[in-house]
Chain A
Amino acid sequence: MLERLLRDPSGDSGGPDSAANLGGLGRSSAELVDRFIDGTLSDRERLVFEKSLETDAVLCEHVALQRRVDASLRGKLAPSDLVLKHIAASIVDAEDALAPAEASTRVILPAKKQVNWLRVAALVAVAVSGYFAYSTFLGGKAALPKVALVAPAVAYQREVSEGMQPYAVCTTSEEFAAYTKTQLGIALKVRPVDGLALIGWDYESVFSRRTVMLLAKYHDKPIVVFMDKVDVGPDNTCIAANEANRVIGNVFLHEVRAAGVPSVLDAFEVVK
């Protein structure tokens, strides 16, 4: 019965999936291995299969190898749910590139109202261009529309008052590195520091809309490290006593910490 179930002499036809090419296992047996791994064997088949595993070294070798391969694939190529979540979250934060196209598909208003809207649009355009002309030619700074940004100290206070609740948590240094790689383009890690506990990540529009905040505590006192691309980082000449800056590669780090807490920015390192 075992032979009939597990060994299929016709499976060894010398083709690409012949027994020789399947590591000494017939095609039907190889399929049984897969169904055993998948858990789709019937109870009877599974019993017979498990019994034959005790005596059939080749079959045993294939099952063990398949399990190793599966574990390896999972370990090497499984996605980080955290990263996926943040990629999806970045869509919400992204500029809406489709906005003009959507506008063109909106319901067209009756002609009279449309003319009125056009007039309004023209007036707005004149006002905006006037503002830019004023900014540029009369000494004003060339101003582009910006998102409302929050000062680091304000964002820090907000986080502290809200109880330092993270949006996302990395449970391993690999996840941490993957997160910073995705968000900032560089894989970072934090060297263990006595008394320092990393809590997790949150978002806030501080230096740009994409500033990420690492929430941490040093002996239960809060620390927030704001991280963003270096080209949007602030001028680092004006920082308070409980703040510090550091640049790693193209990433700008700005730390705000409770009184009496030492800076932890030196603990950040690039993952080689």
Chain B
Amino acid sequence: MHTPPLSQSEFAQMFQEHARSLWCVAVSVLGNRDEAEDVLQESALTGLAKRQEFVRGTSFVHWMGQVVRYTALNEGRRRRIRKASSIDGLQTAASDGPVHSDRSEPFDDRVVAALATLDETARTCLLMRTVLDFSYRQISEALQIAEGTAMSHVHRSRMRMRAALLAFERSSASGHGSNHGSGIAPGLSSGTGGTKHA
């Protein structure tokens, strides 16, 4: 279908309207606020250059979400390569694998690590619900998934995160520092979960 491309100002307006949803897509891939900001800015320019591919009447946030997601995944990949090519990175890469959170790790970091164990779509749903206060209808519209699916993702994600964090806290309380078996892993850019939400 051929539709006239969005003008620059139309694109800017739509981007601004959906910026929070797009932010969630970026941060659910990268798990880091600063990197998500950079990726969102880069995606904005990429989307602007490609806006003739957007078909009017379809979901802007869905289309733009794909741009953000691929940009974020590329950034994650670049970041891993940079890490691996540095000496420190080699040491880090060598210790990759299931992660053992330290008992002294702040709660916030453990939460982000627990978040990383979730499927990417589940992460996005959870962040949209929790961080943006989106209704399940808004999540379903943004990610083009059924409302019930969004709800299910959020509930399962919460349960899994609570279970992982409780297991960690209880093992800490009983004197076992690490969280073997709880599945807490760092970073979110592993690209886990093949479900394309955007």
Chain A residues in the interface with B (C-beta under 8 A) = 17, 21-23, 27, 30-31, 33-34, 37-38, 61-62, 65-66, 68-70, 72-80, 83-85, 87-92, 94, 96-98, 101-102, 105, 178, 181-182, 187
Contact = CB atoms under 8 A, between A and B. Distances in A.
Given A76-B111, A85-B16, A65 B48 contact: no
B155 A87 contact: no
B48 A91 contact: yes
A84 B52 contact: no
B159 A22 contact: yes
15 contacts: A34-B158, A37-B158, A65-B166, A72-B111, A73-B111, A73-B115, A77-B33, A77-B112, A79-B37, A87-B40, A91-B15, A94-B44, A98-B51, A101-B52, A182-B41
A105 B5 CA distance: 9
Given A34-B154, A69-B161, 4 more contacts: A37-B158, A90-B41, A94-B44, A105-B5
Nearest to A63: B162
B131 A34 contact: no
Given A77-B33, A85-B16, A97 B111 contact: no
Nearest to A37: B158
Given A65-B165, A91-B45, A182-B41, A76 B112 contact: yes
Contacts of A101: 5, 52
Contact of A91 (B4, B8, B166): B8
B48 to A, nearest CB: 6
Nearest to A185: B38
Interface stretch (B19-27, B82-90, B139-147, B189-197): B19-27
A81 to B, nearest CB: 8
Interface residues of B, number: 48
* Dominant secondary structure at the A interface: helix
B122 interface: no
A78 B155 contact: no
A181 B41 CA distance: 11
Contacts of A178: 33-34, 37
Nearest to B34: A181
B127 A73 contact: yes
Contacts of A85: 16, 19
Nearest to B110: A72
Contact of A87 (B27, B37, B159): B37
Nearest to B7: A102
A101 B8 CA distance: 13
A39 to B, nearest CB: 11
Contacts of B33: 76-77, 79-80, 178
